Amino acid sequence: MALLDSEVWGKKFFSDGWRAASAEQPVVEPATGEQLATAGLATAEDVGRAAARAAEAQRAWAATSPQRRAAVLRRAGELLTEHAAEVEDWLVREAGSVRAKAAFEVQLAVGECFECAGLPTHPQGEVLTSEDARWSLARRRPAGVVSVIAPFNFPLILGLRSVAPALALGNAVLLKPDPRTTVSGGVVIARVLEEAGLPAGVLHLLPGDGSVGRAVVEAPEVRVVSFTGSTPVGRAIGEQAGRLLKRAHLELGGNNALVVLEGADVRKAASAGAFGSYLHQGQICMTTGRHIVHESLLEEYTAALAAKAAALPVGDPAREEVALGPIIDRKQLERVHGIVTDSVAAGATLAAGGEIVGAGYRATVLTGLTTDMPAWREEIFGPVAPVIGFSTLEEAARIVNDCEYGLSVGILGDVGTAMKLADRIDSGKVHINEQTVNDEPNAPFGGVKASGTGSRFGGAAANVEAFTETQWVTVRPDIADYPF
């Protein structure tokens, strides 16, 4: 039987096994509008029951040997490898991914599982000095129940990168995927871990609307909330978690800059810029949203980027060889087009693209912008590359930092000059002679300013910090003498 056979999960949610749902939602292919399956939706009441069960199951899971927890994560990675083609198909059809992006995402997910398999045996504490005749230790303990709220754009990896480390470190998880990618961002994770031998009750898949999102934050058993998504929603979740004295790890939006320095190879720079802006239709938090080009290269770079944009085919990635697939839904497609047309109306020049093509949008290049135009100021989440010039390194740094976000920056050109610029900019990630879209399972991932609350993903240090609590433990050879 296929891993993702809808006979197993159709019209159900996952909570101590697959349960019949009281509400349903069609799983829709954005490229065609075709219904692929029917997913079950959870309710706020379902979340309450799942959270109580998760708290119960978590205690036994945390007491499971590190080797056993590691084995489950390793097996999950093996299963993703074995069923890669099946999972890729769902990413193509449900999330609108082109085939290469889907394959890349599955490989990231495999790497995440294998990387997290090392967490159970990773050192999780330190020996402290003490003025008294005792041993003093600080050890990391599982936080308990973790809620993971994941987005639609890279649904598998952006859910798994919180689910996998949380489980590896002995937590139970409530997973709420985006309703538009319930299968590739939820069912895949639940089925892989179910088949990998994760005990019942440790992971709960709870698709649903905003009431379910609020419930997975407010459930009293939940101690940590890991959210990836838009900055406005992240702010609301952060406020909600703060009121309840829960930790919220927020990976939010970005309007990322690619700086092309004087003397850079224009051909290679334009290729990097096109990849950064157009991969997965620009629907990535790390997408290159601002191209900041030295004035000596501005005209040549813009022409090269526009030529690349014009050559990228748009269409249905399940049925055609295309570079850009559909935008996730019509509302977002119209938003992207509205930002472009508003900017052109304000005086920007369209060098390429600017057209809706079926359910997709042509790769677009905008020039002649000012920094107050919507295409420059806003996170577009579409395949749009706004280009602006600079003359000095100080001006480049000012333009990069003049943004509410601070997630990822790429700098192309002379390494020494790039290093000087990197020291002047505010960003969670800086990539020299690479574009802005970069992610590896062992590398810290996070942003500053309106891009989130810092690196809470990637690598043992970030994961241990994110999904455990510190406990101070002392041990004496005998009961101490006290003055009472």
Q: Which residue has the tokens 């810290």?
A: 444
- β-bridge mates for residue 37, sequence order: 27
Distance of alpha carbon 291 from its chain centroid, rounded? 22
Contacts of 338 by beta carbon, 8 Å cutoff, 6+ apart: none
Q: What six digits make up the tokens of 322? A: 């295309």
Q: Which residue has the tokens 């449900």?
A: 94
Antiparallel, parallel or unpaired: β 203-205 and 172-176: parallel
Give yes or no: 285 in active site: yes
3-state secondary structure the chain: CCCCCHHHHCCEEEECCEEECCEEEEEECCCCCCEEEEEEECCHHHHHHHHHHHHHHHHHHHHCCHHHHHHHHHHHHHHHHHCHHHHHHHHHHHHCCCHHHHHHHHHHHHHHHHHHCCCCCCCCEEEECCCCCCEEEEEEEECCEEEEECCCCCHHHHHHHHHHHHHHCCCEEEEECCHHHCHHHHHHHHHHHHHHCCCCCCEEECCCCHHHHHHHHHCCCEEEEEEECCHHHHHHHHHHHHHCCCEEEEECCCCEEEEECCCCCHHHHHHHHHHHHHHHHHCCCCCEEEEEEECCCHHHHHHHHHHHHHCCCECCCCCCCCCECCCCCHHHHHHHHHHHHHHHHCCCEEEECCCEECCEECCEEEECCCCCCHHHHCCCCCCEEEEEEECCHHHHHHHHHCCCEECEEEEECCHHHHHHHHCCCCCCEEEECCCCCCCCCCCCECCEECCECCCCECHHHHHHHHHEEEEEEEECCCCCCCCC
In the set 115, 251, 379, 403, the catalytic residue is 251
Distance of alpha carbon 12 from its chain centroid, rounded? 25
Sign of the alpha-carbon dihedral angle for 327, 331, 337, 340:
negative
* Number of residues written out for the chain: 484
In the set 113, 116, 285, 403, the catalytic residue is 285
Give yes or no: 469 in active site: no
What are the backbone dihedrals phi and psi of residue 192, each rounded to the nearest 5 degrees, phi first? -65, -45
Decide if 50 contacts 148 (C-beta within 8 A). Answer: no
Q: Which residue has the tokens 């961002």?
A: 185
User: What distance in Å separates the CA atoms of residue 11 and residue 22, rounded to the nearest whole number?
Assistant: 9
Residues with catalytic roles: 251, 285
